[in-house]
Structures are given as structure tokens and as C-alpha cells.
A and B are shown apart, each in its own frame.
Chain A
């Protein structure tokens, strides 16, 4: 039965994981996402609910490699962390992408670089959307802007991960992770049986079967020509993802002269900025990328043909703006407004930035 609850974003992730029939969660505490592991440990799904395994690992390096192991055996597995911990996971992410395994990873971003701050940030955009670890690979990136989406994207993320045998990432931030909102929780799904897993994942390590040779999960091929072929196969998969999985939301774009482009918590701030602008007669709209990879280049390119300018709002020094520029191709003005180090701007600051950077510059 569906259920309405008031929850933190991080708790919603954890509850959604249990409800979608996740087989295992492996994590390590780090602010501002520790509630995911805390909630799961308090729920004890391994004893009291679905039998889902939950383990506090010795490090983020171990967490992501537990995810690698679980995914290699065809199970639905996930981990979560925040920026410095997510950096530690990049080796594992690269191996998982290279071994073509499905899994879900959550990064509730905080400010950096280094230990940075525990306050919200969106400064891991490049790391999330451009690969992150070594080698040519991509991770499907979902950017939730509400507690509801934190819950919903667990199911969506793991579904996409299995559809493409590719890691999926929920790129959240400290605002969405920590804030409380009402959330409609999905009905409890049964976990798959071992037989169902073996049928769904004929490639997985489920024990050698009479009808097949032994399965091997690896990212290694010492033969360069075969390794190049494999890379071409990966790239073809990414083109397929780019064709099928672009998700975005447009708010008040129909009559807009100016468009704010923002994801996650920044998009929430921009919604208020739209109201403030429109009260003054400035027609501002918002395009919110929901998938950061694949990025919604086409809809932005389309808007660029009729609007007067774009303001890219991010909690960083200007990262997504590079993708926006690739879409706009210099047709109209594109400016960036961001705060860093864990500072969250007010909607007024966004309106002021629009006025100085774009309206004033006319």
C-alpha cells in the first residue's frame, strides 16, 4: 500500500531502497548523508522486513567494492556517501562501469575541495557527469529536487542500471538530503529469488550452470584490439542512453524571455526567483535537468532559438554551464551565478544576478 510520510531526504532514500526490493546496502558514515545507513540499521530489514543485507563497511573504498561484488552476483545493491567519500569510490565506479554491472550510488554533496565543509554544494557535477574515475565511461546521473524524488529515483535509478548494465548515480546535495518534506512511498516489492536473479542476469556469478560455461566478471583485456572493441561497445551503449533517457522539467518556459537552468536544490531556489521576477514583469522560466547524464542538450538548444538569455544557477563555481554552452552554441548570452563553500543564495540574489549579468548588459 502507498503511504504518505514526513521524512528527511536521506531517510526517504533508505526507505525507498527497502521498498523497491533492494538486496543489499553497503555504506560508511559521512555527513550529510549518514541518515541513510542509520535509518537502515534502525529498520533492520535483514531481520524484520525483506531480508535485505545492510553492512557498515570499513571505508568507502570497501563499500563500493562490496557493491561491485554484490552486483557481480546479479543482486540489486547500492551505497551512499558524500563528496569526499564519493571521491574514494571512483576506483570502484570505474571498475563497475568497466565490468558493465548495475548498481545504485548516492552522493549527497557537500562543499569542497578536500574535506571542505559539511554544508550543501553541487561542486561534484564534473566528477559525476564526466566519468569520475579512470577510463572512458559514463554513469547515469539523476538529480532529485525534492524528498519525493529522492525516494522515486531509487527505483528509477536501479531500473536504469539494470536496463543498461551500468552504474546509476543519484546526485543530491545537503539541502535535499537533510530537509523534510512529505513523501508518498511506493508499495513494498518482494525481493527477487535466487532463481529469478539467475534468469534476469544470465551473465552474473550465480554458480556455473550445466547450460552455460563459467561466468567471468572483469574489466581487464590485455589485448588492445579487443579492448578497443569493448570501448566501442560501451560508447554505443552511452549513445543509446543519450537517445532514450534524457529527463528534464520546464517551469514557466512557454512565454519566458529568460531561462534559469538549475538542478537539485538550486532549481528549488529558482522557482521562487521566477515568482519574484514575474511580480516585477520579468518573464523568467526554469529548465531543470533531471538527468545530468544524459544531459538535455536538445531542449536547451531549442529554447536558445527564442529566448534572450540563460542564467545557470549552481552551488559551485560554474560546472554545468559548460554543458549549457555546448547546447546554446553562442546563440544567446549564457551567464553563471553560484555560491560556494556551502553557502546557499537567496532567491533575491538570483534575481539580482539576472539583472546585473543579463538584463543590465543589454
Chain B
């Protein structure tokens, strides 16, 4: 396979049907094989590339597996304290209204420690894109219970499964923010199949287009697997996600053009 790439009769511009977007750097990603972050990064980078906004985009990735996103996304980026990305993004956007500003946050970050910042940034209608990777677990710290961990799901801090009577309920943050006046577009997507990747990319594109038009907060949840945290193979993890996560975290648009559609 690889020797074909070195054959000049094949390697011609007219034969190019796909290439890695220039908005991704050459750095080798630290994400586990099977993790959704790599795919989410790629389609985010493609959207930025296709919209021609690489030099006008500022991203914020706080603590979590994606804290090093700045090593992979070739745009100006800040690392934030755990949960605080929407606060940073609020100021960046208000002081630089012509820039495209996004946050890229995990479930522990966005729906536990950063709940306040998330809700208030959404409620104020900050003109930012919030990308929310929900895999129901704390990946970076080694697989502890997240606010989105499903009932019965086993993690390092609920080794016998999440007991709702003791640990409380999994939090549907996306539905919650959809009810706030300040959100303009709220959707839940996934990246485990080619079709779902295309849908999610379209959702991200829509969110950035809305920001271009000065609309309110756009919130894109991506339900993702964490096969190492879930202690499964990537294939098992995708199957488990489809069978267990999707029935609880239903995919699709929740709010479009400022109107609830679900």
C-alpha cells in the first residue's frame, strides 16, 4: 500500500481525493486507539479549514483528555483550568467579536466542575461554539465516574456500577442547556461510523456558521466511546455505546434556530 504513494504516476494533484487538513498539526496524538477525540479533532479542523477561518479562530480546551488539543489543532489556543473554558471563551469573544471562538470540553469538565460556567455562558447567549465530548467517564485520570456515567455502569469510583440511590443520576446537560433562552443551536451527535462522522461535521459547520451570523451559543455534544476507560476493545466499545449510551443520550438536533425541535 505505502509504496504506491511514492509512485509519481499516481501521486498527482488530479488523483487527490482526500488529504489531512492543514488545520491539524503533524504532532502524533496521545489519544488511545479507538477514542473519538481524534475523529472529532479532524472534523473540527476540516470545518475550520473549509470555512477559511484558521487565522480567525481561537480555541479553549480545559483539563481532561483533550487538554493537549492545542498540540493538534493549528489555531491559536488556550488551555484552561478544569471547567472554566466557557468563562475564558466569554471574554475572548466579547473582546474579539470578529474572531471565531470555541471550547472543547469533556463530560467531567463541562457537566460537573464547570456546570456553572457552562450554564451561564449558554444562558447569556455568548456567541461561541461549545463542543462537548461525552463518554460517560473521566478518561484522563484513569476511568472514574462522570456526571454522565450511566446507571449501573462500572468505573473506578463506582466499581459495582453506578447506584443512583447513592451517586445520583446521570446528567443530560445538553437537554438542560437547550431550555436556556441563550442557546441557538443544540444538538447531540456521534463519530463511530462514517455516516455519523459526516452528520457531526455538518453539525459543527452549522454551529460555526451560526457564530459567523452572530447568533447565540451553539452547543454540539458528541457521544463518544472510551474503550480503555470502559475496559473494552474499540469494536466492543462502539457496540456498547450504541446499545447503552444512545438509548439514554438520544442522537439528533434538540434546538435549531433558537427553537426546540424535540
Contacts and interface: CB of A to CB of B under 8 A. Distances in A.
Given A62-B116, A205-B78, A214-B74, A24 B55 contact: no
Interface in B29-61: 54-58, 60
A271 interface: no
A73 B84 contact: no
Given A62-B117, A68-B84, A208-B54, A219 B91 contact: no
B96 A72 contact: no
Contact of B79 (A70, A206, A213, A219): A219
B78 A217 contact: yes
A297 B75 CA distance: 45
Contact of B89 (A26, A69, A75, A220): A69
A355 to B, nearest CB: 50
B23 to A, nearest CB: 9
Given A58-B117, A205-B58, A219-B79, A65 B92 contact: no
Contacts of A61: 84, 87, 116-117
B99 interface: yes
A218 interface: yes
B76 A69 contact: no
B77 interface: yes
Nearest to B87: A65
Interface in A239-286: none
B56 A59 contact: no
Contacts of A194: 96, 98
Nearest to B96: A73
Contact of A65 (B54, B58, B88, B119): B88
Contact of B76 (A67, A75, A91, A214): A214
Given A69-B87, A73-B92, A215-B76, A208 B81 contact: no
Interface residues of A, number: 40
B90 interface: yes
Given A69-B90, A72-B88, A92 B95 contact: no
Nearest to A62: B87
A209 B56 CA distance: 9
A68 B88 contact: yes
A330 interface: no
A11 interface: no
B12 to A, nearest CB: 28
B94 interface: yes
A321 interface: no
Nearest to B73: A214
A206 B96 CA distance: 8
B137 interface: no
Contact of A92 (B74, B76, B84): B84
A216 B79 CA distance: 8
B70 A66 contact: no
Q: Interface size class for chain B?
A: 20 to 34
Interface in A21-74: 23-24, 26, 53, 55, 57-59, 61-63, 65-70, 72-73
B120 A68 contact: no
Contacts of A26: 91
Contacts of A218: 70, 78-79
B74 A69 contact: no
Contact of A91 (B54, B68, B81, B94): B81
Contacts of B54: 208
A121 B75 CA distance: 45
Among B89, B90, B120, the most chain A Cβ lie within 10 Å of the Cβ of B90
B67 interface: yes
Given A66-B87, A72-B92, A220 B58 contact: no
Given A77-B91, A205-B92, A207-B56, A65 B80 contact: yes
Given A59-B116, A69-B91, A69-B92, A207 B77 contact: no
Given A62-B84, A214-B77, A220 B96 contact: no
Given A66-B88, A69-B88, A77 B95 contact: yes
B81 A69 contact: no
A217 B116 contact: no
Contacts of A210: 55
A61 B73 CA distance: 27
Interface string A70-99: 101101010000000000000110010001
Given A66-B88, A72-B88, A219-B79, A24 B67 contact: no
B101 to A, nearest CB: 9
Contact of B90 (A55, A207, A214, A219): A55
List 10 A-B pairs, minimum CB-CB distance, nearest first: A69-B88, A65-B87, A69-B91, A218-B79, A70-B91, A66-B91, A58-B120, A65-B84, A205-B76, A217-B78
Interface of A: 23-24, 26, 53, 55, 57-59, 61-63, 65-70, 72-73, 75, 77, 91-92, 95, 99, 194, 205-210, 213-220
Interface of B: 54-58, 60, 67-68, 70, 73-81, 84, 87-92, 94-96, 98-99, 116-117, 119-120
23 contacts: A24-B94, A55-B90, A55-B91, A57-B120, A63-B87, A65-B84, A68-B87, A69-B80, A69-B90, A73-B58, A73-B92, A75-B95, A92-B84, A99-B78, A205-B92, A207-B55, A207-B56, A210-B55, A216-B78, A216-B79, A217-B79, A218-B79, A220-B67
Given A66-B88, A68-B78, A68-B88, 16 more contacts: A55-B91, A55-B94, A57-B120, A61-B117, A62-B90, A69-B80, A69-B89, A69-B92, A73-B58, A91-B81, A205-B92, A207-B99, A208-B54, A214-B75, A215-B76, A220-B67
